[in-house]
Structure 1
Amino acid sequence: MIEVDLEEEKREIIRRYRKLLRHAKPILKSGDARIIKKAFYMSMEAHKDMRRKSGEPYIFHPLEVAQICVSEIGLGTTSIVSALLHDVVEDTEVELADIERGYGKKVASIIDGLTKIAGVFDQGSSQQAENFRKMLLTLSDDVRVILIKLADRLHNMRTLGSMPRDKQLKIANETIYLYAPLAHRLGLYAIKSELEDLYLRYTDGDAYRHIASKINATKDARNKFIRNFIKPIKDELNSQSFQYEIKGRPKSIHSIHNKMKKQNVPFEEVYDLFAVRIIVDTELENEKAACWQAYSIVTDYYQPNPDRLRDWISIPKSNGYESLHTTVMSGRGQWVEVQIRTRRMDEIAEKGYAAHWKYKESKNGDADKGLELWIGKVREILEQNDASAIEFVDDFRSNLFQEEVFAFTPKGDLVTMPNGSTALDFAFDIHTEVGAHCLGAKVNQKLVPLNYVLKNGDQVEILTSKKQKPNEDWLKYVVTSKAKSKIKDSLKEEKKQFVMEGKEVVKRKLKQLKINFTQEALLQLTDHFDVKTPTDLFYLIGKGKIDHSLIKKFNEKKEEEHKYRRVTDPKGMQSQIKKVREKDFDLLLIGEDMDVVDYKFAKCCNPIPGDDVFGFVTVNDGIKIHRTTCPNAAELLSNYGYRVVKAKWTSSQDNSFLAGLRIIGTDRMGLINDVSSIISGELKVNMRSITINTEGGIFEGEIQLYVSDTKHVDQLIGKLEVVPGVVSVTRDN
């Protein structure tokens, strides 16, 4: 057991507390330091016997969360107090009423929003999704709940190394699924990038370390390149008496990794590895002119790519982000992204929503207006609370975590919509009644159908008729939550009748089959008929779209597969995990006790021995094994973390597994023969299929083959990469 130096710990706690006060000093008003001190001592007392997984005293965590709130987000005293106390109600004997008595309603309200929901959840719901919905419900009152939660998540990700592997995967995937997009949407780009990098570090450590080492290895050459690139720009800015700062830094590891995957290229071939940022100091009324003047200087020396100009100064993003982005060709034939903004814009870009409070008294209210619009859209989704928590999270992500399209009304008013919005979305955005009676639209004076997808700059006139009313097909034409919820409301009364009829049919059928009408039976039925919710099932049966006689067939299948039971609690999961199958060999050890259990490989990612994997308890198909880099991992681990189990490879003996390889290269005579002779002859690997497409002297091939483990795959890739003409060999998911 490690001995703890308690005196040194106390000194370190005081050091961190004093550091927090030093950073907060510029924003403290009279009496604030006393309130922060009171909160600090209350938190220290409440957490005095608690330690984190790393062995550190628990008080380190609230202190660091408060530090992030001050230094990295720019929040004030209320947030510092709330951050220091954010876990006391959840983890200790302190109650919300105690917080309200000591620190007021505002702090109590924020902490209530941050406190996880206790108690039992309905089967099939996700605790993480429920927590996320509760946290967002407070957004209409105080956005600081979200900001403190992001600070909390950032510190948890920074200290994730001390957690067990399965917890690392769960927390990292929740982060990429919910919190990184949320940070992006609130304009907290530095925090968003760090969360994404930390996600990659814990889910695909090899890729993270590879890119990090490459960035480090090219640091000197990159710095030299940036110095040479910015020299003529600096000289010109100096001659025109600009007050400015120029920074050059590499893109985040996660964004580089995404580019490598998307473009299927190695690190060396990602052309925009870094960005140069020019920050101009100027008066508010001169900001726009100064930025365009700096842009003019940059493009005097370097040729810009006209397709890569982004003007977020004339029309800021809805999260308040303002900047000019351009990509220019350097003298060495390399594309470089240049971002041009003022000091005010840079602070808002780094600290997002919090920086608006500092500038909200300014004359330029457009950014605040855009952010208020976004919060208004969040409220709309929150008001539509008849969906399950998981549906809610999916709806929230799809509506708020995407880029926007800008369109205009006939009078020239600007309307900001999510990318992919249609003319029907536009109609509902104007007014519910306009949407409900929408016949079609005129876009740029031309008639278009309801499902016309808007483009930037479209001028839209909505055509209506009192005879028109929403129908179910309309739900396929819209992407915004407002339009969806209003259409659903219109259809609700009609649907309610069908639902009641369908429910009675299901009750009657289950009674005939001697099956109790329970939530579990309904969830198994919804899974069998491939519908989202029991209400959808009742509706489809009531309307006659699903033949109710098929319920009998479901029961026959259920009896056949009775060994796969839905697992909804830890005890049930353990009994599921400990079902041992008779096998002549060990492949995977699963669960806390590392037992040999029945499992199947997920077809979405085709894991093979040696891959980093996890087990997922499905509804009707036992335990399925996924790679941690599976495209579906983030959603499974975020929404259904309680159904995830550990999985670890043991000896695989002589078993073969199907893997796919993608080969790209330049076409030549005899190439396919060389490739197949290495696979079948030299390495004695059995191929299931090989498909080669050639066009314009370039070939692209897909090979399905049987291998024993990841080492076998790596060996095969290494051999194929040296074949003349082969440019790259990668493994498919």
Structure 2
Amino acid sequence: MFTIDDLADRLGGYLPQDEIRQVRRAFYYAEQAHDGQRRRSGEPYVTHPLAVANILANMHMDHQSLMAAMLHDVIEDTGIDKEALAEQFGKPVAELVDGVSKLTQITFEDKAVAQAENFQKMVLAMSRDIRVIIVKLADRLHNMRTLGALRPDKKRRIARETLEIYARIASRLGINTIRVELEDLSFQALYPMRAERIKRAVSSARGHRRSAIRQVQSSLQSSLDDEGLNGTVIGRQKHLLSIYKKMRYQRKPFAEIMDVFGFRILTEDVDSCYRILGVVHNLYKPVPGRFKDYIAIPKANGYQSLHTTLFGRGGMPIEVQIRTREMEAMANNGIAAHWLYKAGQTQHPIAQGSHARARAWVKGLLEMQRHAGDSLEFIEHVKNDLFPDDIYVFTPKGDIMELPQGATVIDFAYSVHTDIGNSCIACRIDRRLAPLSTRLESGQTLEIITAPGGRPNLGWLNFVVTAKARSAIRHALKHQQHTEAVQLGRRLLNKALAEFETSLEELPAGPVETLLDELSLKHLDALLESIGMGTRVTYMMARRLVDLHRGELPQRTVGPASQKPIVISGAEGMVIKFARCCHPLPGDPVIGHLSAGKGIVVHRTECRNLSELKNDPDKLFALEWSQDIEEEDFPVALRLEVESRRGLVAELAALVTSAGANIERIDIEERDARLATVNLTLAVRDRVHLARIIKRLRNLANIGRINRLGT
């Protein structure tokens, strides 16, 4: 059984004796705090924190991290609080322990909410000290190693959470040794039979291929020795989940995956890496398009290596990774190498860069957290942000930006800066204009064109892939909707107050504050927003304000003020929408209906649906079109009765395009062998533009009746 003395002996290799004594003191404190507590396996509880500290010792973590590992369950599972720990071991250790501890004082509705809230708490702690996540990963790794004593359903829940979040975080931070073990342990807990079969098959295949592997390894090593290059060739193991994923998602049989031989070549410096690459390519022919240079352009987690795939004897694929020994340490320990090198009293640039990238990532998480509506939305953003496949693009100044596979122009704009994304209106890719939804490819140079009046579009959410872009767009749309709803609410309330011969600006502050108190609202904008979004009846709010001001029941006027319509221009944004049932156009007589949660919905006055809405007159508003309509297209639906003939759709499309309109949708229904009905949805500027198009359509041969739908 592993003891504190065993750990102290290991720590003696890189920590001074006074720091080791502090780690011992933390262990004895935890042992006393957890006295009488046992794990599900029956072992004393303190064996768990000791094992977590041992995992951190493998990564050469500092003494404060090791002390936090010893004490990480004290706040959560005993009566000792954070203040007591700070008094005993100092504030940094207490902060680390608190960051890893779950929120035990709050009762959550379900496990998903609890998971999201706890993760959100941990992110805040990570922003103050990145070591929080390293201690948490070590804690989760030991829990996964000892899952056997739990119920099957709990095993699966913890394994799924580990796979979706913690293994991905380990990958994002470059801690490959922990990532691989977390993935394999999760896979074995979720699919025990599949894992066992793959494990047996791997063992069997390895035995059959031993001589072939030795032969390739020997030829690679001999070539390096002949050229006088200092390099060590080692075999590379595939782990269980990697094999399973390739079998499942790439639809490859097990034999095909195991036919790929993997080797790693470790050397002393970067120059030797590229020279070894030349030797390897001279020995075996490289597979075109399969070379990747992660030394020149490292991955987001700091990983550096040269990757190449070669044709071996008989066409057998050989995958080779070439890196320095320091890069190997970084690949295995990731951000933990920051402390590994620190312990050796040197701070290596690779480790510094990894630490800086990790802090930048956590800063991005905090920005997402501010924009997210709640903890569940935030954790979904985080999961989306943790996918590893990346592409590399360039800014006009030549800076490299890393984005996930499938990222678009909008994702790039938001990765540069949130304000750039919010005001983005166009883009040049390799100096050519391109749509904002364009999927990016490695090596492209992007220039974002912005405008002061630019703002996010709801449609962007259909194609962006990065969590930062998605959360920033949602946040901006919420803010935009709030602003527009407040403006509309003010217009509606002033229109209703005009019926009592007053306005919001003329009313004193007293009645407004009294009404806000009655409605439990903190400020006037909240009232105006609820009016603009249709969740409060405008006339009732106006009547109550006037009543509070005058102290008597007010009388409505029926003069010109009450008849004055609201002017619309078609560019009000998210709180004025155009009804799909009747497709109103500039120039049409229109009326507005205040719909809860949507704002004002604009209908044509002859719309059939208005007969139902007239039962609620307080929610109907007279509208009129502005003299200055924004340059934009409005949809309109037509139904044409035509004689069926070949080339009809092409003829209609040419006519509509020549008239300066667009066809958004076209459906043809065969009525009989001779006649057909064509349903057209066009994008036009206004009622006059539509009239010109209908006039042209009537001049086509064999066109019968033309009806505008929605009346």
Structure 2 length-normalised TM: 0.66
1:426 Cα shift?
2.4
Distance in 1 separating the partners of 2:117 and 2:531: 30
Distance in 1 separating the partners of 2:284 and 2:56: 39
Does residue 376 in structure 1 map to residue 406 in structure 2? no
Write out aligned runs for 1:309-458 (5 A): 309-359=291-341, 361-363=347-349, 366-384=353-371, 386-458=372-444
Q: Deviations over 1:577-625 (max 9, x none)?
A: xxxxxxxxxxxxxxxxxxxxxxxxxxxxxxxxxxxxxxxxxxxxxxxxx
Write out aligned runs for 1:129-148 (5 A): 129-148=116-135
Distance in 2 separating the partners of 1:64 and 1:366: 29
Q: Which amino acid aligns with 1:500?
A: S
Cα gap change, 1:62 to 1:368, in 2 (>3 Å) = closer
**Cα-Cα RMSD:** 2.8
SS in 1 for 2:425: strand
1:230 maps to what in 2? 217
2:265/2:320 contact within 8 Å kept? yes
Distance in 2 separating the partners of 1:308 and 1:19: 46
Distance in 2 separating the partners of 1:507 and 1:18: 73
Cα gap change, 1:505 to 1:468, in 2 (>3 Å) = closer
1:540 Cα shift?
4.7
1:54 maps to what in 2? 41
Distance in 2 separating the partners of 1:272 and 1:137: 46
1:272 Cα shift?
5.4
2:641 maps to what in 1? none
1:500/1:542 contact within 8 Å kept? no
Distance in 2 separating the partners of 1:138 and 1:272: 45
Q: Which amino acid aligns with 1:335?
A: P
SS in 1 for 2:202: helix
1:278 Cα shift?
0.9
Distance in 1 separating the partners of 2:151 and 2:423: 55
SS in 2 for 1:401: coil
1:566 maps to what in 2? none
Does residue 461 in structure 1 map to residue 491 in structure 2? no
Distance in 2 separating the partners of 1:302 and 1:253: 28
Cα gap change, 1:191 to 1:423, in 2 (>3 Å) = same
Distance in 2 separating the partners of 1:502 and 1:235: 78
1:47 Cα shift?
1.3
Structure 1 length-normalised TM: 0.64
1:304/1:328 contact within 8 Å kept? yes
Q: Which amino acid aligns with 2:330?
A: I
1:368 Cα shift?
4.8
Write out aligned runs for 1:672-687 (5 A): none
Cα gap change, 1:539 to 1:243, in 2 (>3 Å) = farther
2:303/2:331 contact within 8 Å kept? yes
Distance in 1 separating the partners of 2:596 and 2:422: 22
Between the aligned residues of both structures, percent identity stands at 36
2:175/2:333 contact within 8 Å kept? yes
1:117 maps to what in 2? 103
Write out aligned runs for 1:174-573 (5 A): 174-271=161-258, 274-280=261-267, 282=268, 287-359=269-341, 361-363=347-349, 366-384=353-371, 386-496=372-482, 497=485, 500-501=530-531, 505=535, 540-542=597-599
Cα gap change, 1:42 to 1:507, in 2 (>3 Å) = farther
| Equivalent position to 1:106, from 77, 80, 92 | 92
1:655 maps to what in 2? none
1:466 Cα shift?
2.7
Q: Deviations over 1:499-555 (max 9, x none)?
A: 7359874999xxxxxxxxxxxxxxxxxxxxxxxxxxxxx98555669x9x99xxxxx
Distance in 1 separating the partners of 2:74 and 2:11: 22
Q: Deviations over 1:264-288 (max 9, x none)?
A: 34322225555211111x2xxxx22
Distance in 1 separating the partners of 2:424 and 2:118: 37
Distance in 1 separating the partners of 2:15 and 2:432: 58
Write out aligned runs for 1:615-654 (5 A): none
Distance in 1 separating the partners of 2:154 and 2:536: 39
Distance in 1 separating the partners of 2:311 and 2:222: 19
2:637 maps to what in 1? none
SS in 2 for 1:119: coil
Q: Which moved more, 1:411-420 or 1:53-62?
A: 411-420
Q: Which amino acid aligns with 2:250?
A: Q
SS in 1 for 2:392: strand
Q: Which amino acid aligns with 1:270?
A: I
Distance in 1 separating the partners of 2:94 and 2:113: 25
Distance in 2 separating the partners of 1:492 and 1:17: 54
Distance in 1 separating the partners of 2:537 and 2:113: 26
Q: Deviations over 1:389-423 (max 9, x none)?
A: 22111101212333222111212122222333222
Q: Which amino acid aligns with 1:343?
A: R
1:439/1:465 contact within 8 Å kept? yes
2:52/2:69 contact within 8 Å kept? yes
1:176/1:199 contact within 8 Å kept? yes
SS in 2 for 1:441: strand
Distance in 1 separating the partners of 2:296 and 2:274: 11
1:174 Cα shift?
1.0
Q: Which amino acid aligns with 2:68?
A: S
Q: Which amino acid aligns with 2:190?
A: T
SS in 2 for 1:421: coil
Cα gap change, 1:96 to 1:345, in 2 (>3 Å) = same
Count of residues in correspondence between the two structures: 500
Distance in 2 separating the partners of 1:144 and 1:400: 19
Distance in 2 separating the partners of 1:391 and 1:68: 32
Q: Deviations over 1:239-262 (max 9, x none)?
A: 334333322133001111111112
